[in-house]
């Protein structure tokens, strides 16, 4: 089953949001245009409590984008974003979600960040997405969304480990750090991920 995973296309990651990805809004029409080429579409949302440990404001003396050691990992401290129930946490209003069968929320535990759609950053808590996809008979996963170098990338890493055949739709995604993402693309290719454009889905 050909499955599209739409990762975190939320207002706070769009230009004007609290943690905006450059040109993040440009991917919305691309994602809308490819939806009918898939058998199953699933979206994810960052869904943080206001006290989330990844927010710089919750660490005395720390600033946005500082890095600290947290629970055995290096943690980037982010601007407050995608707070549960906020407008910033909502999916972009122009995203056509009519064919989306499920939305998986992540980052709900205030004590640990969760970039991947499948697990928290310490792999202690699963979202249940693996089981859902396997129950649906999904084998080929196509990834798009925000941001390519963080949540999309970590989701792909876990999907590969879970045995899925993975594709990354580059023009339906945008990175937070364009330069860093060039090295990440090389890592994807080394994992066997195929990097494609939306146009190739029609052939």
- What residues act catalytically? 8, 106, 151
Residue 157 contacts residue 191 (beta carbons within 8 Å): yes
Secondary structure element (H or E) that encloses residue 132, with its range: helix 129-136
Dihedral sign for Cα 96, 157, 82, 177, please: negative
CB-based contacts of 51, cutoff 8 Å, min separation 6? 58, 110
Share of the chain above pLDDT 90, in %: 94
Q: Where is average pLDDT lowest: 11-20, 48-57, 67-76? A: 67-76
pTM above 0.85, yes or no: yes
Give the whole-angstrom CA distance, residue 166 versus residue 143.
8
Average pLDDT over residues 55-73: 91
**Options 3.40.50.850, 1.20.1050.10, 3.40.1380.10, 3.90.1150.10; CATH of 2-49+86-202:** 3.40.50.850
Residue 71 contacts residue 112 (beta carbons within 8 Å): yes
Is the per-residue pLDDT at 74 higher than 70?
yes
Average pLDDT over residues 4-8: 98
- pLDDT tens-place string over residues 190-203: 999 999 999 999 86
Where along the chain do its domains lie? 2-49+86-202
């Amino acid at each position: 089953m050909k499955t599209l995973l739409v990762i975190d296309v939320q207002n706070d990651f769009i230009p004007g949001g609290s943690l905006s990805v450059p040109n993040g809004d440009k991917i919305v029409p691309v994602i809308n245009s490819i939806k009918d080429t898939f058998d199953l579409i699933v979206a994810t949302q960052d869904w943080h409590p206001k006290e989330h440990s990844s927010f710089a404001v919750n660490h005395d003396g720390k600033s946005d984008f500082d890095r600290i050691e947290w629970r055995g990992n290096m943690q980037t401290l982010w601007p407050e974003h995608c707070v549960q129930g906020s407008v910033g946490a909502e999916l972009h209003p122009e995203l056509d979600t009519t064919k989306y069968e499920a939305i998986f929320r992540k980052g709900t535990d205030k004590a640990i960040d969760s970039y991947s759609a499948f697990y928290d950053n310490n792999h202690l808590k699963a979202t249940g997405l693996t089981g859902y996809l396997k129950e649906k008979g999904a084998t080929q996963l196509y990834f798009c969304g925000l941001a390519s170098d963080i949540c999309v990338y970590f989701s792909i890493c876990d999907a590969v480990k879970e045995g899925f055949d993975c594709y990354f739709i580059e023009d339906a995604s945008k990175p937070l750090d364009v330069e860093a993402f060039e090295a990440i693309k090389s890592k994807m290719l080394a994992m066997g991920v195929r990097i494609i454009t939306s146009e190739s889905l029609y052939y």
